[in-house]
Amino acid sequence: MYCYADLSDKELIALVLKKDEQAFGVLYERYFPLLFIYARKIIADEEVVKDLLQDVFVSLWSKTPLAINRSFSSYIYAAVRFQLFDYMDKQKVRKGYADSLQYFLDQGEYSTDNYLLEKELQQQIEKEIMNLPPKMREIFILSRQEEKSYEEIAKQRNVSLNTVRKQVSNALKIMRSKLTLLFFTFF
């Protein structure tokens, strides 16, 4: 019979390969506290560290032909280090997804608000255009909505170029004064 506590890591690993639970328990007792201290320097959450270390030891037990080409100490510390880095990478990805989702939600809320404000503002502009005197309204619509040049409007309406300029200028003054009041009510 063995005194497991007196066996070297190499001898314990040979027994673990034969699925000796006591040998595995000795390795666990020997390394878990040291690995816990090491991992806690990297990750603050004790429960997460315990879970990660359990995963490493379960993996150690589960691997049928366990190939350790260096000391067990180096092997187990490297396995824990990889497990910690993997966990941190996953946390970064999760945080990235969470940040991205929050940004989308924030932007979605603003874009909806902006869309509603824009619609309301557009309706108010249309209303104010319709309140312009008829000839001024026709010239303004040709200029701003149909994007015709002043020369084209003058020919189409059979009026002088100065009349077109004056009508558009007056319409803009009226619209500006009405919409300035409206703008301050919205914001």
What pLDDT band is residue 51 in, cutting at 50, 70 and 90? very high
CA 44 to chain centre: 24
Assigned token pair, 183: 């703008």
pLDDT value for 104: 64
C-alpha R_g of the chain: 38
Of the candidates 142, 136, 124, the one whose C-alpha atom is nearest the C-alpha of residue 178 is 124
Assigned token pair, 107: 């932007």
Q: How far, in Å, CA of 83 to CA of 134, rounded?
A: 76
48, 40 contact by CB (below 8 A): no
What pLDDT band is residue 185 in, cutting at 50, 70 and 90? low
pLDDT value for 183: 61
What pLDDT band is residue 111 in, cutting at 50, 70 and 90? low
Q: Is 19 left (phi over 0), alpha (psi -120 to 50) or beta?
A: left
Q: 42 — phi, psi (to 5°)?
A: -100, -40
CA 40 to chain centre: 28
Q: What value does the mean pLDDT take over residues 65-80?
A: 80
Tell whether the model's pLDDT for residue 109 goes beyond 90.
no
Assigned token pair, 63: 């691997």
Give the relative orientation of helices 46-62 and 21-40 as an angle to the nearest 10 degrees: 150
List, in order, residues 6 or more apart from 58 with CB less than 8 Å away: none
Q: What value does the mean pLDDT take over residues 92-116?
A: 65
Which one has a higher pLDDT value, 161 or 68? 161
Q: How far, in Å, CA of 89 to CA of 46, rounded?
A: 18
What pLDDT band is residue 87 in, cutting at 50, 70 and 90? confident
How confident is the prediction for the chain on average, in pLDDT?
82
Q: Give the lowest-confidence range in 37-51, 70-84, 152-166, 172-186.
A: 172-186
pLDDT value for 110: 57
List, in order, residues 6 or more apart from 14 with CB less than 8 Å away: none
Which one has a higher pLDDT value, 83 or 101? 83
Which one has a higher pLDDT value, 111 or 173? 173
Which one has a higher pLDDT value, 104 or 33? 33
pLDDT value for 182: 63
